[in-house]
């Protein structure tokens, strides 16, 4: 069964989604981009309060794929004690060189998640390189939130292909990207390991707005149902 990933930008929001039963609390700053990062100090505070009872992931920000830049950011975020560190596979830079540079990091026991973006038409052949670098998982997201949800950019067959590629490579799989309540019924049969939400949990469905308890619990209930 797919689990619920809820993206939050503060300790108070992390408390909200934890109380509502989110399976993964994902730390990022939506106002800073698709994978905007929270300050390391804020992440450390959230980890200190909610671990070991919560599973927590955190992004390193919208960084170009420059190997040393990404490695330094990953190590800094991993030092906070989060369970997973998410790295965006952005168009700028060298993805293969960056993945290779992260291989020694994964060998240190740091669980890495690669985030591919549907609106950049990602090459699923990268999943092999992601696995070879020792990553724990991969997910699909959207970079330009104005284009609509993930299901507007990729059809169900394409999404199933991604999930299957991950499963065959022994990687966790995640689907996210402006997902709405109506998307859940379409995506649950694909059996991705988790579905990620931000905008659908917020007031007026605006990802930069505050979380709405009723929306959070509604999404939780739809996934459980």
Catalytic hit among 3, 86, 111, 145: 86
Q: What angle do CA 92, 93, 98 make, to 5 degrees?
A: 130
Q: Which residues contact 180 (CB under 8 A, 6 or more apart)?
A: 149, 199, 200, 205
Structure letter (DSSP) for residue 92: S
Query: Measuring CA to CA, which residue among 188, 180, 184, 183 is closest to residue 207?
Result: 180
What b-and-e string marks burial along 139-158, b requiring 16 or more CB atoms within 10 Å of the CB? Answer: bbbbbebeeebbbebbeeee
Number of H-type helices and E-type strands within the chain:
9, 8
Catalytic hit among 28, 51, 111, 145: 28
CA dihedral 188, 47, 61, 148 (to 10 degrees): 30
Query: Would you call 28 a catalytic residue per the annotation?
Result: yes
Whether 2 and 195 have beta carbons less than 8 Å apart is answered as: yes
Query: Would you call 51 a catalytic residue per the annotation?
Result: no
Q: E strand or H helix at 194, and its extent?
A: strand 194-197
Which residues does the annotation mark as catalytic? Answer: 28, 86
């Amino acid at each position: 069964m797919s689990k619920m990933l809820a993206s939050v930008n503060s300790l108070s929001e992390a408390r909200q989604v934890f109380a509502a039963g989110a399976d993964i609390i994902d730390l990022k700053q939506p106002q800073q981009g698709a994978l905007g990062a929270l300050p390391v100090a804020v992440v450390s505070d959230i980890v200190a309060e909610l671990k070991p009872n919560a599973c927590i992931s955190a992004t390193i920000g919208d960084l170009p794929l420059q190997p040393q830049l990404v490695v330094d950011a990953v190590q800094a975020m991993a030092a906070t004690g989060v369970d997973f560190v998410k790295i965006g596979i952005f168009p700028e830079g060298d993805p293969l060189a960056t993945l290779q540079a992260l291989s020694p990091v994964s060998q240190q026991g740091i669980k890495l998640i690669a985030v591919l973006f549907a609106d950049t038409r990602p090459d699923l052949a990268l999943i092999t390189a992601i696995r070879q670098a020792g990553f724990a998982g991969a997910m699909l997201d959207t970079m330009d939130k104005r284009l609509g949800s993930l299901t507007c950019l990729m059809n169900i067959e394409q999404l199933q292909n991604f999930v299957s590629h991950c499963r065959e490579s022994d990687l966790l799989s995640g689907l996210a990207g402006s997902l709405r309540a109506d998307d859940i019924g379409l995506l649950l049969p694909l059996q991705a390991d988790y579905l990620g939400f931000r905008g659908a949990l917020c007031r007026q469905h605006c990802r930069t707005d505050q979380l709405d308890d009723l929306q959070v619990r509604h999404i939780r209930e739809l996934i459980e149902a």
